[in-house]
Amino acid sequence: MLLQLIIKYGRIKSVLFITFSAIVASAIATCSIFYFSGRPMPVINIYLTIIIPAVIASLASWRTIGMILKIHSLEQKIRKLANYDSLTALMSRSWFINRAEAVYQLMLRNQSTLAFIYIDIDDFKKINDTFTHAGGDAVLKTFGSILLKQIRKSDISGRLGGEEFALLLADTDSKGAGYFAEKIRDAIENTAASYQGKSISYTASIGVSVFDQSNRVNLDKLIAQADIALYSAKNSGKNCVVKWNPGIHGENRDVMLRV
């Protein structure tokens, strides 16, 4: 509660409020002592009643509030390091899955649609071998910025592994998911990373699965479907989008046409 008030009003206003409260409390206590003792209050006591708590309270509260804010800042940084990938600024695998489950349950209750998009950077090992791991990191940073620019506020994005990424799109049907996935694929193909003055072009393969009335599966199954679609995209020549399609035997996949 105290931390929330400090964050809301800031360090200076909080110190002023504490100092003023200390002065008022000191004045009330001092006046009460002299009143009930039946003795008049000397002028010096009036000044001391104001000056002493003003100095002590302001210095002590400034230091204490500063420590509280510093600890809060460190906690925020630690939480961010735990929940977000430092290289791409996308959610970590565990935090992504955690948030994805919450979004899935919400879409389930609202009887809405939900799209899962699995993305894998093509030939990433070759990029690392050619440009070193630092060059590969430059590609990952560029890739992360592309996703963050493209997604909506309601979407969540995460890094699931080395060069594997995922998006979860709330209230998105099959058509919308296919269009968005193709938009991401095109942005990746046309946005080269820069490393030591060199331009690194790369592509990505994408698998899409959609939770809707015809495919009411749990989140794990939805992710597995997108993973299969991604594998199919890799086998289809890479740099393409493949959407999961159960078909007759639950194994058919169809390659999305370019938008």
Catalytic residue at 189? no
| Residue of 163, 164, 189, 251 with catalytic role | 163
Phi/psi region, residue 10 (left: phi>0; alpha: psi -120 to 50; beta: rest), is: left
Cα angle for residues 197, 202, 203 (degrees, 5° grid): 160
Taking the alpha carbons at both ends of the chain, their separation in whole angstroms is 51
- Nearest-angstrom CA–CA distance, 256 and 207: 10
SS3 label, residue 196: coil
Q: Is the dihedral of CA 170, 172, 176, 177 positive or negative?
A: positive
Helix (H, G, I), strand (E, B) or coil at 76: helix
Provide the 8-state DSSP code for 166: E
- Catalytic residue positions? 163
